[in-house]
């Protein structure tokens, strides 16, 4: 009597053998207690592996997945806040423009004043357009 | 649009088509339908419940992102399973653990592998734990490539060909991994199996 080897018994459980071989092993097992016992051991192991499948409570799992796939809500600013932001931006732009224009005007004024001093022999000048002419 | 209660009655193809149009409820039903199997699979590959849950969550998020690319005429679950296996292997690779998925890493007649036995003591286990728990513990101590192959065969009920396709290995490797897994399990459970046969 030739006993099927371990690999054949394993493939026999999985029905991954040609039909003739499956039949041959099946017939052998019926008459061979040793191989029957080996086969039972393997089936017991498979049964235990199957039993290690767990039924998890997946309710929280599903909720977490759904939370993660949802696009993050975009924060909408209130009308007042938007108005205030626009007002601030306009003020800044206006203020900056005014500052630039003013400084340009002053530069021009200073240049003209210098020109006047050099042309008319003026020794000094004061604010508010008052000029002092020297006695020379 | 379907009523909420009706999603459960829909087949996968309908749910996929709805999800592809952005229907979150349809996707929720897909998650409900397969999360348990995917968590179990990921936990078994990763060897840790927490890691398995995290990976399973990433898998479903990735499925939602890529659902439009899925051909709805195909079966959904094998696609999800493959994504799960790949995600787990990728994570294990990142952690620097050895993942054997090449064609030539396991051959017939491969010498027995030295597996650390510290997690499992048959004598203690038999006294304290039920049979299935002993087997589960033995399964946990298998190297991951044996564990996952045996799991796909026994729990997921895949043929050798389907396992080969899922793991990108050839059928011969599948066969030898399953044989080796069962051999290692039998050796680990030797004490219990002998006692079972001879209770005196």
Identify whether the C-beta of residue B172 lies closer than 8 Å to the C-beta of residue B108: yes
| CB of B196 less than 8 A from some CB of A | yes
Share above pLDDT 70 across residues of chain B, in percent, rounded to a whole number = 78
Distance from CA of A36 to the nearest CA of B (A): 12
pLDDT (average), residues B130-139: 86
Q: Tell me: pLDDT of B111 over 60.
A: no
Q: Tell me which of 3.30.930.10, 1.10.10.10, 2.30.130.10, 1.20.1110.10 is the CATH number of domain B122-197.
A: 1.10.10.10
Q: What is the pTM of this model?
A: 0.70
CB–CB of A66 and B31 under 8 A? Answer: yes
CB-based burial, A112-128: b 16+ in 10 Å, e otherwise: eeeeeeeeeeeeeeeee
The top-scoring range by mean pLDDT among A30-34, B121-125, B130-134 is A30-34
Q: What are the residue boundaries of the structural domains of chain B, listed by start?
A: 4-94, 122-197
Q: Which residue has the higher pLDDT, B135 or B106?
A: B135
For B133-139, which contacts have Cβ atoms below 8 Å and span 24 or more sequence positions? B134/A48, B134/B189, B134/B192, B135/A44, B135/A45, B135/A47, B135/A48, B135/A49, B135/A51, B135/A52, B135/B185, B135/B189, B136/A48, B136/A49, B136/A51, B136/A52, B138/B185, B138/B188, B138/B189, B139/A48, B139/A49, B139/A52, B139/B44, B139/B185
Q: Which residue has the higher pLDDT, B83 or A113?
A: B83
Nearest to A6 among B56, B153, B183 (CB): B183
pLDDT of residue A25: 95
Position B6 confidence tier, pLDDT thresholds 50, 70, 90: confident
Which residue on chain B is closest to A5 by alpha carbon? Answer: B179
Chain A hits for B193, CB-CB cut-off 8 Å, are: 41, 44
Position A104 confidence tier, pLDDT thresholds 50, 70, 90: confident
Which residue on chain B is closest to A54 by alpha carbon? Answer: B40
Q: Which residue has the higher pLDDT, B118 or B149?
A: B149
User: Rounded to whole angstroms, how far apart are CA atoms B66 and B132?
Assistant: 38
Which residue on chain A is closest to B42 by alpha carbon? Answer: A53
CB–CB of A70 and B24 under 8 A? Answer: yes
Dihedrals phi, psi of A122, to nearest 5 degrees:
-90, 135
Chain A residues touching chain B at CB-CB below 8 Å:
6-7, 10-11, 14, 16, 37, 41-42, 44-56, 58, 61-62, 64-66, 68-70
Q: Tell me: pLDDT of B1 over 60.
A: no
Position A116 confidence tier, pLDDT thresholds 50, 70, 90: confident
Chain B hits for A41, CB-CB cut-off 8 Å, are: 186, 189, 193
Which of A8, A10, A37, A63 to probe by mutation at the B interface, max B CB count within 10 Å?
A: A10
The radius of gyration of chain A from alpha carbons, rounded to an integer in Å, stands at 50
pLDDT of residue A105: 87
CB–CB of A62 and B32 under 8 A? Answer: yes
Which of B49, B137, B179 to probe by mutation at the A interface, max A CB count within 10 Å?
A: B179
Q: Tell me which of 1.10.1740.10, 3.40.50.300, 3.40.630.30, 1.10.10.10 is the CATH number of domain B4-94.
A: 1.10.1740.10
pLDDT of residue A72: 74
Q: Tell me: pLDDT of B120 over 60.
A: no
CB-based burial, B46-70: b 16+ in 10 Å, e otherwise: bbeeebbbebbbbbbeebbeebeee
CB–CB of A56 and B175 under 8 A? Answer: no
Residue A127 backbone zone (phi > 0: left; psi -120 to 50: alpha; other: beta): beta
Which of B147, B185, B191, B198 to probe by mutation at the A interface, max A CB count within 10 Å?
A: B185
Q: Tell me: pLDDT of A135 over 70.
A: no
Nearest to B36 among A48, A55, A66 (CB): A55
pLDDT of residue B103: 34
Distance from CA of B40 to the nearest CA of A (A): 6
Share above pLDDT 90 across residues of chain B, in percent, rounded to a whole number = 65
CB–CB of B139 and A49 under 8 A? Answer: yes
Strand partners for A122:
A133
Please write the tens of the pLDDT for every residue from B160-178. 999 999 999 999 999 999 9
CB–CB of A62 and B134 under 8 A? Answer: no
pLDDT of residue A81: 85
CB–CB of B35 and A7 under 8 A? Answer: no
Query: Which of B143, B150, B44, B46 minimizes the C-alpha distance to B94?
Result: B46
Q: Look over chain B and give the mean of its residue pLDDT values, rounded to a whole number.
A: 83
Q: Which residue has the higher pLDDT, B137 or A133?
A: B137
Q: Look over chain A and give the mean of its residue pLDDT values, rounded to a whole number.
A: 85
pLDDT of residue B109: 41
Please write the tens of the pLDDT for every residue from A12-70. 999 999 999 999 999 999 999 999 999 999 999 999 999 999 999 999 999 999 999 88
Residue B171 tokens read as 């059928």
């Amino acid at each position: 009597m030739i006993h099927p080897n371990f690999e054949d018994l394993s493939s026999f459980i999985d029905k991954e053998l040609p039909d003739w071989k499956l039949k041959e092993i099946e017939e052998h097992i019926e008459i061979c207690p040793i191989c029957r016992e080996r086969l039972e051991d393997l089936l017991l192991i498979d049964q235990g592996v199957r039993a290690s499948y767990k039924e998890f409570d997946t309710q929280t799992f599903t909720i977490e997945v759904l939370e993660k796939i949802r696009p993050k809500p975009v924060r909408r600013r209130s009308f007042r806040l938007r108005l205030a932001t626009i007002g601030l931006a306009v003020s800044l732009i206006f203020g900056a423009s005014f500052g630039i224009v003013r400084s340009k005007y002053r530069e021009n004024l200073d240049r003209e004043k210098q020109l006047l001093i050099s042309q008319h022999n003026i020794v000094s000048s004061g604010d508010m357009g008052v000029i002092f002419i020297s006695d020379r | 649009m379907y009523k909420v209660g009706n999603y459960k009655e829909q087949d996968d193809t309908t749910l996929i088509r709805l999800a592809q149009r952005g229907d979150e409820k349809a996707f929720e039903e897909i998650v409900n339908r397969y999360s348990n199997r995917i968590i179990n699979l990921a936990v078994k590959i990763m060897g840790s419940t927490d890691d398995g849950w995290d990976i399973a969550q990433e898998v479903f998020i990735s499925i939602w992102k890529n659902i439009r690319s899925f051909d709805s005429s195909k079966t959904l679950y094998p696609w999800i399973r493959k994504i799960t296996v790949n995600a787990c292997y990728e994570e294990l690779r990142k952690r620097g653990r050895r993942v054997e998925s090449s064609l030539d890493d396991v051959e017939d007649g491969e010498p027995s592998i030295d597996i650390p036995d510290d997690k499992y003591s048959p004598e203690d286990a038999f006294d304290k734990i039920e049979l299935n728990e002993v087997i589960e513990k033995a399964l946990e101590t298998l190297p991951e490539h044996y564990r996952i192959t045996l799991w796909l065969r026994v729990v997921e009920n895949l043929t050798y060909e389907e396992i080969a396709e899922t793991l990108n290995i050839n059928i011969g490797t599948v066969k030898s991994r399953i044989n080796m897994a069962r051999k290692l399990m039998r050796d680990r459970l030797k004490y219990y199996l002998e006692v079972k046969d001879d209770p005196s």
